[in-house]
Amino acid sequence: MQGLERILGEHRLFAGLGQQFLELAAGCAKNVRFDPDEYLFHADDPADWIYLVRHGRVALEVTTPHQGAIRFETVGEGEVVGLTWLLPPYRWGYDARATELTRALALDARCLRDKCEADHDLGYEILKRFLPVLVQRLRATRLQMLDVYSPGR
Amino acid sequence: MLPRPVRVRKRTRDLPGTVTLELEPTDGMPLPSYAPGQFTMLYVFGVGEIPVSISGDASDGSRLVQTIRSVGAVSEAVTKLLPNDVLGLRGPFGTAWPTSELAGQDVVVVAGGLGLAPLRPSIYHLLANREQFGKVVLLYGTRSPDEILYRRQLETWRKRLDIQLEVTVDHAGADWRGHVGVVTKLIPRLSIDVQHATALVCGPEIMMRFGAAALCDLGLPEQSVWLSLERNMKCAVGLCGHCQFAGLFACKDGAVVRYDQVRRLLAMTEI
Amino acid sequence: MAIGCSHIRRPRALSQIKDGSGFRGHSRDMYEDTKSAGSARREPEPGPDPRHGSPAVIGLDGLAALIAALRAQNFRLLGPTRRDDAIVYDDIGSIDDLPAGWTDEQDGGHYRLRRRDDEALFGYAVGPHAWKRFLHPPLLTLFRAERDAGGMRVTTDPPPPERLAFLAVRSCELHAIAIQDRVFLGGPHVDPHYQARRDSAFIVAVNCGQAGGTCFCVSMDTGPRARSGYDLALTELLDGEHRFLLEIGSERGAALLAEIPHRDATPTDLAQSDAAAAHAAANMGRAMQADGVRDLLLNNLQHKRWDEVAARCLSCGNCTQVCPTCFCTSVSDHNDLATGAAERTRRWDSCFTMDFSYIHGGSVRASPKSRYRQWMTHKLANWFDQFGTSGCVGCGRCITWCPVGIDITEEVRAISGDTPEDAHART
């Protein structure tokens, strides 16, 4: 358990979270590893896990009928795969696949949600950390949407 | 200022619609020397003239290397020129990247799409004089893996042990193992000495705006971030009025400008 | 042909537009800086220099002799003449070509000639022409290119042999010429076409005795009295004998005066000349609060007034054509199918055109609103950052020749929130 707390506390996203909250969150955590091209999850799967990437790279993809899988984002060390766990109905909207050997800390989303309900202070700390990630992703997505490299821009 | 006839010595097709030309004089006189970031006006006989980035090594006076993308009638004509074809050259014009003043600094080069071309002379300088600088970081973003400019050269640079080079694409197929996402996403992860760092940013204007903002969020002062503007140019010497961006003439007060001077203007529409 | 690197400049430090306090103050004596700009242009002394001689007086015969003397020296003499119901600048053969007994009636979008009840030769304000049409030609061939064995040969025309003389240049126009001098001669790149025409130009100024309906030179401190930049300056005096006070601005002017019949000016002559200037100054058709205009506009680039004026503006570009300081040009490439030669020409352009700011994919300033804003902020604000002075000389042409009568002084007032009464009270 103590090892997981330490690893959690070292991850960029949880830096500065108090010891007490780290303990609570670590109670939902486990170490996971993915081989290259191994899927973390598929679209429409229940969003039951949050992955804090410690090493490696995860590609977020959607599949299209004619073009196969299109990667629209990669998530690397120190970043997090999984924001959908915050919103009902808690279903992934895309696939996630490791592009290289990837180690991550997986947090049980249901476990964490329950603990946040029970302890609102923990809940606030968690949300405070995930919201900036959400906003950054939104900004980045908007920029991607603008297709800035096409000649008309 | 009249165009001077120069000849295409070599033509390289970088990408569909993007070509790099190596130019040599026809009159036996030396080529003009230039500073990284400057551009020339290339004239195609009877068709017209356009501003084109100089993308070569400024310390190599034996050739003038320029990269052009076909986006209109004149640029298309330039990209269709073949070795031994003659065109007209005026210049070089414009302001330069502050490359010669970066000794001791960490340097971050952020390039988007074709923006890598006007930055390449600076990159050559940084790599050839590596010991003068602190950390050297090159971030390159483009739309997809088959739109990576100077790909082989990027791969060669990547092998160096003394620079950090990250390439990202807006989207990719499943066979791309690298970063996917906007180039600005790579900025918050940088570990540099922000008080002693300078950033050179070039690419589509939206990308430069968000890139510069991200660099300042990281902690770089606005005066340490440089951009390269693009505007309609006809005379390239500040006399025809077309390239004005508020009070700046992009051809003589730019194209390279400092972010603090243009930040407010960039955010406004139709300036 | 230029070989070797052109002057490599550091990106120029502009003042922060936000606080607007950093712009370079401009010298009201606009010739101050052009002296140090290193141009080949002949430098005038500010004000009539007593070394050249004290003021003289000439009659109509003297003026006729002046015209003849200039033509005898092979100057191409250009001056005001009546044509197409307007007073325009064209070749002057004799004093009879001047529009004696005519005046103009000007207002927003309105220009009419009216008969005077005297025979004044210069009793009107400025018309649709500006002197820039001779110094900065509307159409010019830049070069010819031909294919040859070596690849391509580029040739250019020799400079024009004629020397220009301008008759009846008003004070606002002298300032406009000085402003264009800074644009074309004062920067790192000199325009050789302008220089070739400007260097030898002989200028006979005229001091206005009455203001035009859209004039506001007093607001812009560009008149009505000509202070410098001329070889000779005339003030028409109608009280008593029809005569002209003549002030000398250069040695060339003094030499020309020596060739024509004249007498010394008397205190009466001088008093009448002062009275004429005072009369003109007191009757300006418009006024603009010139101090602080730069900051006002640059701090209000998103003011709703721009939408309001955009609803009226036709983007016709008349204002840019008649404005004596507008200088934008464009280039075109033509091929001669018969000879196989290519030619590049330069012509006047206007920032109001749709493709003025075109870069691949579209124009930066696509909306008429942005183009009107560009013109006005360039003229009244950005010009300070670029050239150290305002771009506006208060001649009022843009107001007169706008088909819908958009009034630049009113636009400034609207943005600053002033009422018309406030503005007049200040000037």
Average pLDDT over residues C233-253: 96
Model confidence at C295: pLDDT above 90: yes
Degrees to nearest 5, angle at CA C340 with C336 and C346: 45
Cα(A38)–Cα(A47) distance, rounded to whole angstroms?
Answer: 17
Model confidence at C30: pLDDT above 90: no
**Which residues of chain C have a CB within 8 Å of the CB of A151?**
360-361
Question: Are residues C187 and B253 in contact, defined by beta-carbon separation less than 8 angstroms?
Answer: no
Question: Would the CB atoms of A151 and C362 count as touching at under 8 Å?
Answer: no
- Residue C38: pLDDT band (50, 70, 90) is very low
Q: How far is A20 from chain C (nearest CA, A)?
A: 48
Question: Are residues B8 and B87 in contact, defined by beta-carbon separation less than 8 angstroms?
Answer: yes
DSSP string spanning chain B? ---EEEEEEEEEEEETTEEEEEEEESSSSPPPP--TT-EEEEEETTTEEEEEEE-S-TT-TT-EEEEEE--SHHHHHHHT--TT-EEEEEEEES---SGGG-TTSEEEEEEEGGGHHHHHHHHHHHHHTGGGSS-EEEEEEESSGGG-TTHHHHHHHHT-SSSEEEEEES-EETT--SEES-GGGGSTT----GGGEEEEEESSHHHHHHHHHHHHHHT--GGGEEEE-----SSSSS-S-TTEETTEETTTT-SEEEHHHHHHHHHSS--
- Residue C260: pLDDT band (50, 70, 90) is very high
Is the CB of residue C360 less than 8 Å away from at least one CB of chain A? yes
Cα(B177)–Cα(C309) distance, rounded to whole angstroms?
Answer: 54
* Per-residue confidence (pLDDT) for residue B100, from 0 to 100: 87
Q: How far is B158 from chain C (nearest CA, A)?
A: 31
Amino acid letter for position B211: G
For chain C, what is the mean pLDDT? Answer: 88
Strands B18-25 and B64-69: antiparallel
Q: Give the residue ranges of DSSP H helices in A61-108.
A: none
Angle between helices A120-145 and B205-218 (to 10 degrees): 150
**Which residues of chain C have a CB within 8 Å of the CB of B261?**
11, 13-14, 16
Q: ipTM of this complex > 0.90?
A: yes
Q: How far is B76 from chain C (nearest CA, A)?
A: 12
Tell me the pLDDT tens digit for each residue of C87-119.
999 999 999 999 999 999 999 999 999 999 999
Tell me the pLDDT tens digit for each residue of C195-216.
999 999 999 999 999 999 999 9
- Residue C234: pLDDT band (50, 70, 90) is very high
Size of interface A-C (CB pairs under 8 A): 6
**Residues 128-157, chain B, touching C (beta carbon < 8 A):** none
- Please return the burial class of C163, using the count of CB atoms within 10 Å of its CB with bins 0-12, 13-18 and 19+: middle
Of the candidates C143, C151, C156, the beta carbon closest to that of B86 is on C151
Among chain B residues, the shortest Cα distance to A140 is held by B182
Question: Are residues C204 and C233 in contact, defined by beta-carbon separation less than 8 angstroms?
Answer: yes
Distances in Å between the Cα of C275 and the Cα atoms of A42, C235, C270 are 91, 11, 9
Cα(C192)–Cα(A152) distance, rounded to whole angstroms?
Answer: 36
Q: What percent of chain A has pLDDT over 90?
A: 46
Place of tokens 């120190």: A78
Amino acid letter for position C304: K
Domain count, chain A: 1
* Per-residue confidence (pLDDT) for residue A63, from 0 to 100: 80
Model confidence at C26: pLDDT above 50: no
Q: Which residues contact C124 (CB under 8 A, 6 or more apart)?
A: C80, C87, C99, C102, C103, C104, C113, C212
Confirm whether A121 is domain-assigned: yes
Q: Give the residue ranges of DSSP H helices in C94-249.
A: 132-135, 171-185, 192-198, 217-220
Tell me the pLDDT tens digit for each residue of C159-203.
888 999 999 999 999 999 999 999 999 999 999 999 999 999 999
Cα(A60)–Cα(A69) distance, rounded to whole angstroms?
Answer: 10
CA C91 to chain centre: 18
Model confidence at C338: pLDDT above 90: no
Confirm whether A126 is domain-assigned: yes
Confirm whether A128 is domain-assigned: yes
pLDDT, mean of each 10-residue run, chain B (271 residues): 94 97 94 96 96 96 95 96 96 95 96 97 97 98 97 96 96 93 94 97 94 95 97 96 96 96 90 90
**Which residues of chain C have a CB within 8 Å of the CB of A153?**
361
Is the CB of residue B247 less than 8 Å away from at least one CB of chain C? yes
State the number of CA atoms in the 13 A half-sphere of A123 facing the CB: 11
Q: CA dihedral in degrees (B153, B149, B95, B195; nearest 10)?
A: -70
Domain that holds residue A69: 2-145
Among chain A residues, the shortest Cα distance to B184 is held by A140
Q: Which residues contact C402 (CB under 8 A, 6 or more apart)?
A: C108, C109, C318, C319
Question: Are residues B23 and B81 in contact, defined by beta-carbon separation less than 8 angstroms?
Answer: no
* Per-residue confidence (pLDDT) for residue C251, from 0 to 100: 94
Q: Give the residue ranges of DSSP H helices in C236-380.
A: 251-258, 267-282, 293-298, 305-312, 318-322, 368-377
- Please report, in angstroms and rounded to a whole number, the separation of the first and last CA atoms in chain C: 50
The radius of gyration computed from the CA coordinates of chain C, to the nearest angstrom, equals 23
Cα(B42)–Cα(B79) distance, rounded to whole angstroms?
Answer: 11
Average pLDDT over residues C133-157: 93
Is the sign of the CA dihedral C256, C259, C260, C262 positive or negative?
Answer: positive
* Per-residue confidence (pLDDT) for residue C419, from 0 to 100: 56
- Please report, in angstroms and rounded to a whole number, the separation of the first and last CA atoms in chain A: 52
Is the CB of residue B143 less than 8 Å away from at least one CB of chain A? yes
Phi, psi torsion values for B22, nearest 5 degrees = -105, 125
Strands A39-41 and A95-98: antiparallel
Neighbors of chain C with 3 or more C-beta pairs under 8 Å: A, B
Model confidence at C314: pLDDT above 90: yes
Task: Identify the residue among B18, B146, B166, B182 best suited for mutation to test binding to A, counting A beta carbons within 10 A and taking the highest.
Answer: B182
Tell me the pLDDT tens digit for each residue of A32-72.
999 999 999 998 889 999 999 999 999 999 887 777 788 99
Place of tokens 């009879």: C96
* Per-residue confidence (pLDDT) for residue B8, from 0 to 100: 97
Cα(A93)–Cα(A107) distance, rounded to whole angstroms?
Answer: 19
- Residue C15: pLDDT band (50, 70, 90) is very low
Question: Are residues C191 and B239 in contact, defined by beta-carbon separation less than 8 angstroms?
Answer: yes
* Per-residue confidence (pLDDT) for residue C50, from 0 to 100: 60
Is the CB of residue B170 less than 8 Å away from at least one CB of chain A? yes
Cα(C33)–Cα(C13) distance, rounded to whole angstroms?
Answer: 19
DSSP string spanning C142-180? EEEEEEETTEEEEE-PPPP--EEEEEEEEHHHHHHHHHH
Set out the domains of chain B in order of their start, with CATH numbers. Answer: 4-93 (2.40.30.10), 99-267 (3.40.50.80)
* Per-residue confidence (pLDDT) for residue C28, from 0 to 100: 28
State the number of CA atoms in the 13 A half-sphere of C375 facing the CB: 31
* Per-residue confidence (pLDDT) for residue A32, from 0 to 100: 96
Q: How far is B269 from chain C (nearest CA, A)?
A: 8
Helices (H) and strands (E) in chain A, counts: 4, 8
Question: Would the CB atoms of A146 and B71 count as touching at under 8 Å?
Answer: no
What ranges do the domains of chain C cover? 31-282, 293-426
Cα(C183)–Cα(B95) distance, rounded to whole angstroms?
Answer: 19
Model confidence at C231: pLDDT above 70: yes
Cα(A139)–Cα(A136) distance, rounded to whole angstroms?
Answer: 5
Residue A117 is part of a domain; what is its CATH number?
A: 2.60.120.10
DSSP label of C382: I
Length of chain C: 427
Please state, as a whole number, how many other Cβ atoms lie within 10 Å of the Cβ of residue A18.
12
**Which residues of chain C have a CB within 8 Å of the CB of B27?**
150
Structure tokens at A104: 């991550």
Amino acid letter for position A13: L
Strands A80-81 and A49-55: antiparallel
Range with the poorest average pLDDT among C37-51, C205-219, C231-245, C289-303: C37-51
**Which residues of chain A have a CB within 8 Å of the CB of B171?**
70-72, 144
Among chain C residues, the shortest Cα distance to B99 is held by C10
Q: How far is B25 from chain A (nearest CA, A)?
A: 31
